[in-house]
Amino acid sequence: MLSLKIENLAVSFPGLTAPVLAVDHLEIAAGSGVALTGGSGSGKSTLINIIAGLERTRAGHVFWGDQNFADLSEGRRDRWRAANIGLVMQDFHLFPGLSALDNILLPARLSRVATADLVKRAHMLFQTVGLKRPEQHVETMSRGEMQRVAIARALLRKPGVIIADEPTASLDLESGEAVGDLLLSVAADAGSTLIVASHDPRLIERLGRRLSLKGGQIVGDTQAGEMAA
């Protein structure tokens, strides 16, 4: 359960005159649900990378709670992300050859934090996301099932933040809806801050707040109530 505060953030790439992302001030309350929308090139993915700590913050400040990403080395940022941010991606990024359960536990195991309790939690999460065969290899699963495994993996270490990048874009309507439901309910249950980049209107409208990006700027910031109007 963490709040986000961004100040004077500017991300530019060499060779480009205008920054791909410029955010002067943004605050997201702890436990809230936020949708990020915008076309390609809007800076949406860059923002996701920055707030997930995947990309280095060179100019400005990105605070999760009291922690400023800009102050952290790459290794410490990795560690912080592993402990505090649950990531869900469009392409799942599950590792073939491993069972669903092993996939859920893989990042924790690689970080050497996979205790017996965590293994137990992995089993529990597996049921929470509505799956039945923990030993099933992921490559034999349907895409909807894969995304459920990915969500369980994101939740394993009880992250204060869940960041999902187009979680439903590669799913059919039905499983997309189910995955959306799942994301919202697990975030609500854990009280995690949920940030979802999406094009999926049905998913967007169920989140409390909507940030629209265009040309690297936040051009819209609406609450759910206002949107309905």
Partner 1 sequence: MIRFILADLRRLWLGGAVVVLLVALATALGVAVTLQERSLRLGSARAADKFDLVVGAAGSETQLVLSSIFLQAAPLPLVDGSILTKLSADPRVDWAAPVGFGDSFAGYPIIGTTTKLVAGTTPGFAEGRMFALEGEAVLGAAVNLPLGAEIKPMHGTAETGGHTHAGPAYKVAGKLQPTGTPWDRAILVPIQAVWHVHGLGEEHGHEEEHHDGDGHDHAHEGDEHHEEGGTHTEAEHTGGVAEHVQTVAEQPAPQPPKTAFALGAASSAHIEDDHHGSIDPDAPIVETFGASTPGLPAILVKPKTIADAYRLRQEYRTGSTLGVFPGEVLTRLYATLGDAKMILSAVAAGSQGLVAAALVLVTVIHVGQRRRQIGALRAFGAPRASVFTIVWLELFLLVALGIGIGFLIGLTAAQIGAQMFAAKSGVILPVGFTREDLRLALVFLGFAGVLAAVPALLAYRQSPATALRA
Report 62-81 residues binding partner 1 (CB under 8 A): 74-75, 78-79, 81
Residue placing its CB nearer to partner 1 in the complex, 27 or 139: 139
CB of residue 46 to partner 1, shortest distance in Å: 8
The Cα angle at residue 166 between residues 12 and 203, in degrees rounded to 5:
125
Q: Rounded CA gap, 83 and 221, in Å?
A: 29
> Could you say which residues in the range 22-61 bind partner 1, by CB under 8 A?
45, 49, 52, 54-56
How far separated are the first and last CA of the chain, in Å rounded? 30
The CB density around residue 12, as the number of other CB atoms within 10 Å, is: 15
* Residue 89 contacts partner 1 per CB under 8 A: yes
What is the closest distance, in whole angstroms, from the C-beta atom of residue 110 to partner 1 in the complex?
4
Judged by CB under 8 A, does residue 108 bind partner 1? yes
Backbone angles phi, psi at 93, to 5 degrees: 55, 50
Query: Which residues have C-beta within 8 Å of that of residue 21, sequence separation ≥ 6?
Result: 9, 10, 11, 43, 46, 47, 50, 216
Does position 95 interact with partner 1 (CB under 8 A)? The reply is yes
Rule CB under 8 A: is residue 170 a binding residue for partner 1? no
Q: What are the residues binding partner 1 (CB under 8 A)? A: 45, 49, 52, 54-56, 74-75, 78-79, 81-83, 87, 89, 91, 93, 95-98, 102, 106-111, 153, 157
